[in-house]
Amino acid sequence: MSSATKQKITAELARMRLWRRVGDEREAELSNDRINSLLDGTFAGTTRVRGLPGNPTEFAAAVVPGGRVAEFIRLDPDVRRIVEHFFAEDKPFGTLCHGPQVPAALGHLRGRRSSGFPALAPDIEQAGGEYVEGAAVVDGNMVSCRGWGDLAEWSRAFLDVLDRAAVTV
């Protein structure tokens, strides 16, 4: 990732924290969408995701970001292919906020513990998982959290999972 892209993402994260502090969730969500568009998995308002890696074997870990993008990408065939690979190979997999909607839709939360945006508790349970109200819920190689306020704890837990999986950062 280029230095300019990192600076743009940092600026959007700061803007998102500001909007959430003043209670404007729509602006925070728009900021989250801008961050997602700066990353390679650009969401363009359709049910298809552009810019996904062709070969997931080249990646050591995957993270489904927060925001409502998860509800739109969870049925994308390329997203399915990539997520299936990470769970089949037991590679580190992270979810933030609404992110658990992706593995839930694909049957990967069955028998697992997962955090997520609190309103997703019924979805996680319907998918056969156990909803845990926590900042960094680790279940095997999967790490989940409720949202942006948990990022520090989630990041530490995800780095531990990467370390256990012998992934060099």
For 64-76, the pLDDT digits (tens) are 988 878 888 888 8
For the chain, the residue count is 169
What is the fold, at CATH topology level, of the domain defined by 51-164? Rossmann fold (3.40.50)
Q: Where are the domains of the chain?
A: 1-39, 51-164
Residue 98 designated active-site: yes
Closest CA to 34 of 76, 5, 61: 5
Q: Is the dihedral of CA 71, 37, 90, 84 positive or negative?
A: positive
User: Do the beta carbons of residue 31 and residue 16 sit within 8 Å?
Assistant: yes
Tens of pLDDT, residue by residue over 4-57, are 655 555 555 544 444 444 444 444 454 455 555 544 444 333 334 455 556 788
Residue pLDDT, tens place only, 108-144: 999 999 999 999 999 999 999 999 999 999 999 999 9
Nearest to 92 by CA among 13, 39, 154: 154
Which tokens belong to 158?
């995800």
Which residue out of 20, 74, 91, 98 is catalytically annotated?
Answer: 98
Instruction: Select from 111, 106, 115, 101 the least CA-distant residue to 158.
Output: 115
Residue pair 124/114 in contact by the 8 Å Cβ criterion: yes
